[in-house]
Amino acid sequence: MMKKAMCWALAAIVCVLFAAPVQAEKMVLRVSITLDPSSHYYKGLEMLDKLLKERTNGDLSLEIYHSAQLGSERDAVEGVSLGTLEMTLSSTGPLGNFTKDFMIFDLPFIIQDREKAYAWMDGPEGKRILDSLLGQNIVGLSIWENGFRHLTNSQRPVVNPEDAKGLKIRLMENPVHLATFRALGAYPTPMPFGELFTAMQQKTVDGQENPLVIIETSKFYEVQNQLALSGHFYSPAILLINKTVWEEKLTEAQRAIFMEAAAEARDWERNYSREMDTKLAETLKSRGMNVTEPDKKVWKEAVASVYKEFEGTIGKDAIQSLIDAQK
């Protein structure tokens, strides 16, 4: 009788254990960026970290590695694909090497209206582009903002397209960007972002192109005295996570929370980026930079050949869709 009672008691305990809800383990996701802690990327990720902690009772949080501590953007995207890194927030620059769908954002002057472009990026077309990374073991969570890219150099003022001729300009390793500056007669020089300041300081390159927030927070004004508000490229930033981590390490409830938090942090980061843009041109003037305002229509005509060169790769219909969305 005693043995039978013990068996029943043991069985009851086992049933209780198996019936009890499984507590999700606390998980810290490493996310790599190439920019410093004063950047819009870092501030946006801090917001995402705050939202995740609040909504998962601390079960999910981020550990942000800034200033290219874990390597270049391409290194980070490859790490996410291989599973050696959980997450990254990257410009679209290196993503064209993983899937051609992202190359649409690299076309010069294709985005003219931020708000209308946001609606396109946050809709079905944007999801289609994000989902093109699934075959690389990467989940694209949302499209954030890097910003309109402008040209700086240490040689001369740039107003007309021909003023860029002969300048040695650092670019990301991106075929559309490289083709654009070749069309302007410049000498495009790909190199990792982490090497850029020293290269400009040592005159290895004459200049570079980046959003104003990066020009300011990276202190490029210390080694560049010319700023052209060319806005030649608009650069989104893509929040990426390893597919295996997403599907196997996070619960369905956590994934839902994550998607909602990522969208809220995206909107916050875009607003922060826009607000900074409105005042940074004046700030950079006060730091000693000579600021010029090129006629974007003239510049777009000067690089029209780039559209023809890449429309077969990117897709003529996709290009037209983004153009039409801004009318």
Contact status, residue 34 vs residue 75, Cβ threshold 8 Å: no
Instruction: Choose among 206, 237, 178: nearest CA to 31.
Output: 237
Torsion of CA 225, 230, 234, 239, to 10 degrees: 10
Question: Above pLDDT 90, what percent of the chain?
Answer: 88
Look at phi and psi of residue 142 and say left if phi exceeds 0, alpha if psi is from -120 to 50, else beta: beta
* pLDDT class of 292 with cuts at 50, 70, 90: very high
The total number of residues written for the chain in this structure: 327
| pLDDT at res. 185 | 98
**Within a domain: 10:** no
Show Cβ contacts of residue 16 under 8 Å, excluding neighbours closer than 6 positions.
none
**Within a domain: 14:** no
**Within a domain: 7:** no
**Cα–Cα distance, 144 to 64 (Å, whole number):** 16
**Within a domain: 222:** yes
* pLDDT class of 172 with cuts at 50, 70, 90: confident
Please provide the average confidence, as pLDDT, over all residues in the chain.
Answer: 92
Instruction: Choose among 148, 151, 147, 158: nearest CA to 292.
Output: 158
**Within a domain: 190:** yes
**Within a domain: 15:** no
**Within a domain: 212:** yes
Q: Which residues of 37-46 are buried (b: 16+ CB within 10 A; e: fewer)?
A: eebbbbbbbb
Q: What is the CATH number of the domain that holds 153?
A: 3.40.190.170
Query: How many domains is the chain built from?
Result: 1
Decide if pLDDT at 163 tops 90.
yes
Residue 292 pairs in a beta bridge with: 228
Domain containing 120 equals: 26-325
* pLDDT class of 97 with cuts at 50, 70, 90: confident
Show Cβ contacts of residue 246 under 8 Å, excluding neighbours closer than 6 positions.
139, 255
| pLDDT at res. 25 | 75
Decide if pLDDT at 124 tops 70.
yes
* pLDDT class of 177 with cuts at 50, 70, 90: very high
**Within a domain: 114:** yes
**Cα–Cα distance, 22 to 20 (Å, whole number):** 6
Question: Each residue of 67-94: pLDDT tens digit?
Answer: 999 999 999 999 999 999 999 999 998 8
